[in-house]
Amino acid sequence: MDWKYLLTSFDGRINRGKFWAAIGVFVVIGIVGFILDAILGTRITTASGAQIGIIGILVALASIYFALAVYAKRWHDRGKSGWWSLIMLVPFIGPIWFLVECGILEGARGANQYGPDPLA
């Protein structure tokens, strides 16, 4: 599986290692966006005094699609629909549930309706 498929397709399954690798890529890209905002001076100061970087906003918006694709594949490995990503909208327990299910628990062994076992 290549990175293009990992980040753009909602089909198939990925294991925990590829999930965490993709999360790492998102973090690095976010840091690069933050640094570019600081270097280029593309920050906007809001009425409350907070600074928002334009490049950071664009990176975050572009990352939403890619993150959802990675999340869906990880849910598929657990034998569940990618729509389970919506669990993160539940206050407090949702993000914890997502982290445990997608980041900690092992995927379903063997093939399931979403594809073959990524570790086989």
* Model pLDDT, residue 46: 82
What's the pTM value of the predicted model, to 2 decimals? 0.86
**What local confidence, expressed as pLDDT, does residue 81 receive?**
95
Q: What is the pLDDT of residue 1?
A: 55
Backbone angles phi, psi at 57, to 5 degrees: -65, -45
How far is Cα 90 from Cα 78, in angstroms, rounded to an integer? 20
Res 120: pLDDT: 78
pLDDT for 49: 82
Torsion, CA 32, CA 41, CA 48, CA 30, rounded to 10:
-10
What's the rounded Cα separation, in Å, for the pair 88 and 81?
A: 14
- Per-residue pLDDT at 17: 93
* pLDDT tens, N- to C-terminus, the chain (120 residues): 566 677 788 999 999 999 999 999 999 999 999 999 989 989 888 888 888 899 999 999 999 999 999 999 999 999 999 999 999 999 999 999 999 999 999 999 999 999 899 887
